[in-house]
């Protein structure tokens, strides 16, 4: 009977039941996210940015809900701490096993392997950057640290927005309204720039072009199946190097930074 607190002999305890339900809810959310992703064209940059924000909100809400449920169960049944720890550890091991199978056969693993090989030939390796909507700016921030440039993500975003606003005619022709197919109005362009400065809107080719002018530095984007893209070739000097990954996370596109390839022998002092 629904709502009954009775358990059948051999049935899972309250914590195990909660963990199973939460895992099911996580799978259902991922399926929903995939369905949402499939409805948005890859070239519809504005919609994809909106989708990223919506996905982040849904994931955060579910995570908070699950934390609260676990907290309430712990407070109600402190004697079940051991059971909770064992159940969560089992869940963690199962998730790791599932991810390992996916990674060994999936596009993400193949892409990572190929990029690692391309970078190793240049004595470089990927430096992971969080996937939070700011990844392109975080990767550039990381690259600039080696150049005694302390610009933060917020500074890079603000400078990008200001540069694009002051060079309106250089960027407007490349922005179109996904609903009408018409070029952005001035109001739409201002909103686009405001989103760059004040939200976690994803960055792309236009923002990289602006940043290359702002920094007066070439920006090289390494990718898997085509030659590197160099933005700002008119500038001399060592380029900022980013790695563009199409299959890194659920929604696809992601930027990472690079670092010198780790020399294990040197690190061990041999």
Q: Which residue in the list 134, 135, 142, 213 is annotated as catalytic?
A: 135
- Give the Cα separation of 206 and 187 in Å (integer): 18
Indicate which residue of 66, 109, 132, 225 is catalytic: 132
155: its two tokens: 């500074």
Cβ–Cβ under 8 Å, residues 91 and 19:
yes
Question: How far is residue 210's CA from residue 193's CA, in Å, rounded to a whole number?
Answer: 12
Catalytic residue check, 135: yes
Closest CA to 240 of 206, 202, 213: 213
Instruction: Report d(CA 99, CA 92) in Å as an integer.
Output: 10
Q: Which of 134, 195, 213, 254 is catalytic?
A: 254
CA 153 to centroid of chain Cα atoms: 15
Of 80, 60, 61, 79, the residue nearest 18 (C-alpha): 80
Q: What phi and psi values does residue 240 have, to the nearest 5 degrees?
A: -75, 130
192: Cβ–Cβ under 8 A, 6 or more apart, which residues? 46, 175, 184
Cα separation, 136 vs 179, whole angstroms: 26
Active site residues: 132, 135, 254
């Amino acid at each position: 009977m629904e709502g009954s607190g009775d358990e059948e002999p051999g049935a899972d305890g309250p914590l195990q039941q909660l963990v199973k339900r939460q895992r099911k809810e996580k799978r259902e959310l991922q399926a929903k996210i995939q369905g949402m992703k499939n409805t948005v064209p890859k070239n519809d940059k504005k919609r994809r940015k909106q989708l990223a924000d919506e996905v982040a909100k849904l994931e955060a809400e579910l995570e908070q809900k699950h934390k609260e449920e676990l907290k309430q169960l712990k407070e109600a049944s402190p004697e079940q701490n051991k059971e909770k720890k064992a159940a969560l550890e089992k869940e963690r091991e199962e998730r790791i096993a599932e991810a390992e199978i996916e990674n060994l056969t999936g596009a993400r693993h193949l892409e990572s392997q190929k990029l690692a090989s391309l970078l190793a030939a240049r004595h470089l390796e990927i430096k992971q950057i969080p996937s939070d909507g700011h990844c392109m700016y975080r990767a550039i921030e990381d690259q600039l640290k080696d150049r005694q440039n302390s610009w933060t993500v917020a500074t890079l975003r603000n400078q990008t927005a200001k540069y694009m606003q002051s060079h309106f005619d250089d960027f407007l022709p490349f922005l179109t309204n996904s609903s009408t197919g018409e070029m952005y109005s001035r109001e739409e362009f201002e909103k686009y720039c405001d989103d760059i400065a004040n939200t976690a809107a994803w960055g792309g080719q236009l923002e990289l072009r602006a940043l290359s002018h702002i920094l007066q530095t070439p920006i090289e984007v390494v990718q898997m199946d085509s030659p590197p893209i160099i933005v700002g070739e008119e500038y001399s000097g060592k380029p900022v190097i980013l790695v563009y990954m199409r299959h890194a996370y659920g929604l696809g596109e992601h930027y990472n930074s690079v670092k010198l390839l780790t020399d294990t022998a040197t690190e061990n002092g041999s």
